């Protein structure tokens, strides 16, 4: 169309004082509805196809109409296709509106529950105009940080997919080939996968000669003669769990499919790990997370992804704890008071700090002592770890803000110098003590199985 637009890399300059217009965008999979009010009070509505070409034309028309002056765009999305397409244009300043906030705002304006896409565009615009102090302009982080954010989240999804598929495989093996669960500890290994691909049922495996099986184990780095002979004898003596032809036919196909999925997941996780390792090593804040006890190669990049690189994002450790869902929420009315954990937060980020706190108990002496004190007060394991995570966030914030590595000696020295009682916020984070079932455990207690890693691999 001959229109020139100002396209930039995802780096947005300082937020302007005035906007030539404000736009509320109700996005959808096929078509977006927008409402716009200009600085002189003119109001217009329109629709926008959800394609890069349509967005390009729309942005060019806005640039031409307002001579490239800044425009504020509010939408119910902080990450996704719309943000990706609009973030290219330097004069569009994006203001993500939390969906929950807009939902409550809609109920206050339309108690009947009426809802439509054009009206939602008006509602988002109204929220932007009347409550600008509640919205924060979207400013992308550095390329390294954003890459880590995407990579670690997708890696966790792959791990969850692997766990889910392993559970499905276990369920079918219990029905048609339960001996595999006794012979091998980990179903996700190439050894088990290749064995089940070649011999998905016990009857298939028992038809194979010892020579072929012995060669198979050698090819998969199983070189212990004693262990090989033991497995060969177990295979010979095994009895089929069922003779149901329908169950065996379906089970054989499902087992083979699960093995293929697990193999693909295993390869994908390894590729993600390699990419994360490369980017993490070049991140300017990696020395901070490497200094923390208990984090390790999996959680260290996740901590950087959670906090980000922009120091102006958080003014205090409490803001960071509230954003990550670790700080508690207190509801009070009259004589009643209820302390509960925060629901409106990123579950992945909260899980990151929770897992880190649980891991630190095994490697950090003061963290273990703090955890034991919380348990001695009657708090459960999760509440005690959540309380410890709150303390770690305060330490992380100070190291992150000052760009210094964590030093346990310096921390303990500062704590002795203060000689102050425990932070009262810690008990709030742990939540109210249980009236029934609170357990007191003696020193030297062990953590619940799997609690240190939260299922991460």
The string of DSSP codes covering 76-107 is S-SSSHHHHHHTTBTTEEEEE--HHHHHHHHH
| Domain 145-280 class, CATH top level | mainly alpha
pLDDT at position 123: 93
Identical fold at 21-140 and 145-280?
Answer: no
Cβ atoms of 376 and 439 closer than 8 Å: no
Asked whether the predicted pLDDT for residue 224 surpasses 70, the reply is yes
pLDDT at position 81: 84
Give the range among 2-16, 36-50, 261-275 with minimum mean pLDDT: 2-16
**pLDDT bracket for residue 338 (50, 70, 90):** confident
Cβ atoms of 33 and 117 closer than 8 Å: yes
* Percentage of the chain modeled with pLDDT above 70: 88
pLDDT tens, 40-82?
Answer: 889 999 999 989 999 999 999 999 999 999 999 999 887 888 8
**pLDDT bracket for residue 422 (50, 70, 90):** low
Provide the residue ranges of all domains of the chain, joining segments of one domain with +. Answer: 21-140, 145-280, 287-430
Lookup result for tokens 């691909």: 197
pLDDT tens, 380-409?
Answer: 999 999 999 999 999 999 999 999 999 999
pLDDT at position 171: 96
C-alpha 24: how far from chain center: 28
Asked whether the predicted pLDDT for residue 284 surpasses 90, the reply is yes
pLDDT at position 456: 54
Pick one of 3.30.420.110, 3.30.1490.20, 1.10.10.10, 3.30.70.1290 as the CATH number of 21-140: 3.30.420.110
pLDDT at position 449: 45
- What would the two tokens of residue 302 be? 């996740």
Residues 6 or more apart whose Cβ sits within 8 Å of residue 129: 22, 37
pLDDT at position 7: 42
Cβ atoms of 50 and 81 closer than 8 Å: yes
pLDDT at position 233: 93
Give the range among 58-67, 182-191, 208-217, 407-416 with minimum mean pLDDT: 407-416
Asked whether the predicted pLDDT for residue 182 surpasses 90, the reply is yes
Query: 364, exposed or middle or buried, with CB in 10 Å at 0-12, 13-18, 19+?
Result: buried
- SS3 of 453, please? coil
Asked whether the predicted pLDDT for residue 432 surpasses 90, the reply is no
pLDDT at position 423: 55
Cβ atoms of 76 and 102 closer than 8 Å: yes
Asked whether the predicted pLDDT for residue 199 surpasses 60, the reply is yes
Residue 434: CB atoms within 10 Å: 12
Residues 6 or more apart whose Cβ sits within 8 Å of residue 176: 201, 241, 242, 247, 248, 251, 252, 255
pLDDT at position 420: 54
Report the chain's mean pLDDT, rounded to a whole number: 86
Asked whether the predicted pLDDT for residue 36 surpasses 60, the reply is yes
- What would the two tokens of residue 273 be? 């790990």
User: What are residue 456's phi and psi, to 5 degrees?
Assistant: -70, 150
pLDDT at position 14: 59
Quote the CA–CA distance of 27 and 67 in Å, as a whole number. Answer: 25
pLDDT at position 437: 36
């Amino acid at each position: 169309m001959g229109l020139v637009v100002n396209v930039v890399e995802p780096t947005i300059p300082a937020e302007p004082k005035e906007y030539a217009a404000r736009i509320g965008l109700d996005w959808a999979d096929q078509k977006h509805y927008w409402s716009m009010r200009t600085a002189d009070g003119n109001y217009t509505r329109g629709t926008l196809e959800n394609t890069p070409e349509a967005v390009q034309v729309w942005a060019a028309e806005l640039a031409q109409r307002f001579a490239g002056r800044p425009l504020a765009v509010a939408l119910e999305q902080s990450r996704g296709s719309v943000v990706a397409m609009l973030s290219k244009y330097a004069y569009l300043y994006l203001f993500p509106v939390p969906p929950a906030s807009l939902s409550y705002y809609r109920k206050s304006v339309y108690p009947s529950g009426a809802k439509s896409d054009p009206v939602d565009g008006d509602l988002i615009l109204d929220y932007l105009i009347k409550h600008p102090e509640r919205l924060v302009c979207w400013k992308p982080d550095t390329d390294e940080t954003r890459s880590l954010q995407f990579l670690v989240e997708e890696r966790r999804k792959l791990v969850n997919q692997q766990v889910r598929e392993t559970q499905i495989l276990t369920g079918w093996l219990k029905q048609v080939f339960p001996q595999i669960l006794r012979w091998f500890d980990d179903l996700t290994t190439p050894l088990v996968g290749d064995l089940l691909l070649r011999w998905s049922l016990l009857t298939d495996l028992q038809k194979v000669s010892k020579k072929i099986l012995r060669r198979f184990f050698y090819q998969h780095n199983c070189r212990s003669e004693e262990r090989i002979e033991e497995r060969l004898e177990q295979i010979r003596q095994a009895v089929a769990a069922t003779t149901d032809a329908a169950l065996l036919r379906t089970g054989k196909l499902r087992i083979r499919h699960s093995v293929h999925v697990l193999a693909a997941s295993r390869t994908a996780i390894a590729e993600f790990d390699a990419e994360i390792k490369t980017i993490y090593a070049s991140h300017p804040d990696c020395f901070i997370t490497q200094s923390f006890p208990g984090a390790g190669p999996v959680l260290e990049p996740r901590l950087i992804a959670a906090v980000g690189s922009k120091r102006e994002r958080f003014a205090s450790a409490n803001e960071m704890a509230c954003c990550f869902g670790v700080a508690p929420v207190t509801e009070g009315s009259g004589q009643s008071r209820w302390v509960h954990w925060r629901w409106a937060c990123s579950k992945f980020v909260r899980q990151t700090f929770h897992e880190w706190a649980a891991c630190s108990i095994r490697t950090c002496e003061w963290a273990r002592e703090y955890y034991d004190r919380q348990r001695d007060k009657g708090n459960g394991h999760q509440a005690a770890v959540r309380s410890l995570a709150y303390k770690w966030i305060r330490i992380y914030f100070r190291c992150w803000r000052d760009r210094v590595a964590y030093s346990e000696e310096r921390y303990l020295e500062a704590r002795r110098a203060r000689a102050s009682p425990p932070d009262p916020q810690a008990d709030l984070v742990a939540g109210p003590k249980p009236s029934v079932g609170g357990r007191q455990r003696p020193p030297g207690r062990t953590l619940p199985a799997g609690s240190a890693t939260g299922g991460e691999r």
